[in-house]
Amino acid sequence: MGFLVNSELSNFILKRPDLLTCQVVLTASDYGFLKNNSYLDCGQIYPFDDDVLMISVSDINKKTMLAIKTAVSKSKTIEKQYKDLILGC
């Protein structure tokens, strides 16, 4: 399971505060595989094959991990079982 990375925030998300709070900024300076700052959509999780995922949890810095946990805790669309796994409950 994983989150989607977007290079821009859509108007749909920008107009919905509950979705906007689930977006985490990924800075290109922190993550060398990015050309530009991007957004991790932590409001929804998706199934991926392992070989498709760009980075693993161990590659995420502490600042970003804290932001992800905060965003996930605010998500209204992630099932409780997955929230608990992500948040370490």
Question: Domain residue spans in the chain?
Answer: 2-87
Question: Which one, of 87, 37, 46, 47, lies nearest residue 67 by Cα?
Answer: 87
Q: Is the pLDDT of residue 52 over 90?
A: no
Share of the chain above pLDDT 70, in %: 94
Question: Which one, of 42, 47, 45, lies nearest residue 73 by Cα?
Answer: 42
* Model pTM score: 0.85
**pLDDT confidence of 39, banded at 50, 70, 90?**
very high
- What secondary structure letter does DSSP report for 34? -
Question: Which one, of 39, 36, 7, lies nearest residue 21 by Cα?
Answer: 39
Q: Is the pLDDT of residue 9 over 90?
A: yes
Q: Is the pLDDT of residue 54 over 70?
A: no
Position 48 scores a pLDDT of 82
**pLDDT confidence of 89, banded at 50, 70, 90?**
low
5 dihedral zone (left: phi>0; alpha: psi -120 to 50; beta):
beta
